[in-house]
């Protein structure tokens, strides 16, 4: 039997977790995991609108396994969000309350991470239950060149090896 | 996704292992070969169905309030169109069984087999 695994989003000072394994992540101008139309990102007259950080992490809730290794995150390599909209990522070990980003310094475009060149979230080995590996911290950006409205869908993948 | 692979030792003392998903097996015989699961979860920024449907329902409700004489056939067609906007939820979890021997990997998703030296990801 395999490990039972979630991808959780963490919010607030205490890092309250929400299971997003089969859910949707909404980048917005607030620190919460709710998928709604409140606090939307806004196309600026000039410059860039930055979202609040999204803190995601692998969480093992049960199952039977020996160890997890080689956790990583990646994209399909193509920015499908449209002109002027970006998605950036970095790996962080220790949780901090999600804040509104003011720059992409320290981040890398998430679309540069692909199957053959993933963002490593920890080599492991990891055992037992609980959150494993580094946090995947992501921000979205909207430039003044973006079109308005809801953006198309993008998918991020978090993968790992398991025995 | 098919059933998860369970990895167990082969009977006997040869050190081999087998990954079995309830229907098909991937077996390694050499003790120095690796056999592991490669798993992934795909998380999206997809709009939830309610967010797609709500504006359409609001539009229809507004038109009904303005004109309650809409005929049944038209109303039925409008509701059917709204229902068609709801996309089925697809599996977001992927699992492969991977055998590795002397730098060559066999990737098996329960149906297709890929043999390569590349480090493939779901």
Number of H-type helices and E-type strands within chain A: 0, 10
CA–CA gap between residue A86 and residue A81 (Å, rounded): 7
- pLDDT single digits (tens) A86-114: 999 999 999 999 999 999 999 999 999 99
Identify from B19, B43, B51 which residue to disrupt to test chain A contact, counting A C-beta atoms within 10 A and taking the largest count.
Answer: B43
CA atoms within 13 A on the CB side of A137: 24
pLDDT above 80 (res B8) = yes
Whether residue B85 contacts residue B78, with contact meaning beta carbons closer than 8 Å, is answered with: no
CA–CA gap between residue B12 and residue B28 (Å, rounded): 13
Whether residue A41 contacts residue A29, with contact meaning beta carbons closer than 8 Å, is answered with: yes
Q: Per the structure, how many domains does chain A have?
A: 1
Query: Residue B43 and residue A155: Cβ atoms within 8 Å?
Result: yes
B21 Rama class: left (phi>0) / alpha (psi -120 to 50) / beta? alpha
Residue in A1, A115, A155 closest to B44 by CB? A155
CB contact A72 to B (< 8 Å)? yes
Predicted local confidence at residue A99, as pLDDT: 95
**B111-117 mean pLDDT:** 93
Which residues make Cβ contacts (< 8 Å) with residue B36, sequence separation at least 6? A161, A162, A163, B7, B97, B98
Which residue segment(s) compose the domain that A99 sits in?
A: 3-162
Residue in A150, A154, A158 closest to B40 by CB? A158
**A3-22 mean pLDDT:** 92
- pLDDT single digits (tens) B48-91: 777 778 888 999 999 999 888 888 899 999 999 988 887 765 55
CA–CA gap between residue B11 and residue A57 (Å, rounded): 38
**Confidence category of residue B2, pLDDT binned at 50, 70, 90:** low
Q: What is the ipTM of this complex?
A: 0.85
**B95-116 mean pLDDT:** 93
- pLDDT single digits (tens) A45-92: 999 999 999 999 999 999 889 999 999 999 999 888 888 999 999 999
Identify from B41, B46, B91 which residue to disrupt to test chain A contact, counting A C-beta atoms within 10 A and taking the largest count.
Answer: B41
pLDDT above 80 (res B114) = yes
């Amino acid at each position: 039997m395999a490990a039972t695994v979630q991808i959780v989003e963490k919010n607030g000072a205490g890092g309250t977790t929400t299971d997003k394994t089969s859910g949707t992540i909404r980048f917005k101008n607030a620190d919460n995991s709710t998928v709604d139309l409140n606090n939307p990102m806004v196309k600026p007259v000039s410059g860039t609108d930055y979202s609040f950080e999204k803190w995601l992490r692998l969480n093992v809730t049960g199952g039977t396994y020996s160890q997890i290794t080689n956790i990583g995150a990646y994209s399909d390599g193509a920015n499908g969000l449209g002109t002027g909209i970006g998605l950036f990522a970095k790996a962080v070990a220790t949780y901090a309350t999600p804040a509104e980003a003011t720059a992409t310094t320290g981040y890398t475009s998430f679309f540069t991470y692909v199957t053959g060149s993933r963002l490593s979230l920890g080599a492991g080995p990891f055992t037992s239950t609980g959150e494993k590996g580094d946090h995947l911290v992501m921000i979205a950006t909207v430039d003044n060149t973006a079109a308005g409205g809801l953006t198309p869908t993008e998918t991020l993948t978090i993968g790992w090896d398991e025995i | 996704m098919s059933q998860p692979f369970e990895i167990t030792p082969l009977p006997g003392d040869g050190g081999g292992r087998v990954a079995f998903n309830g229907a098909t097996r991937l077996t390694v015989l050499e003790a120095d070969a690796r056999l592991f699961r490669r798993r992934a979860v795909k998380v999206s920024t997809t709009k939830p169905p309610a967010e797609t449907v709500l504006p359409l329902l609001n539009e229809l409700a507004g038109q009904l309030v303005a004109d309650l004489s809409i005929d049944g056939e038209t109303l039925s067609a409008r509701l059917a169109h709204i229902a068609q906007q709801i996309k089925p939820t697809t599996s977001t979890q992927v699992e492969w069984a991977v055998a590795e021997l002397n730098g060559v990997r066999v990737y098996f998703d329960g149906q297709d087999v890929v043999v390569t030296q590349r480090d493939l990801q779901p």
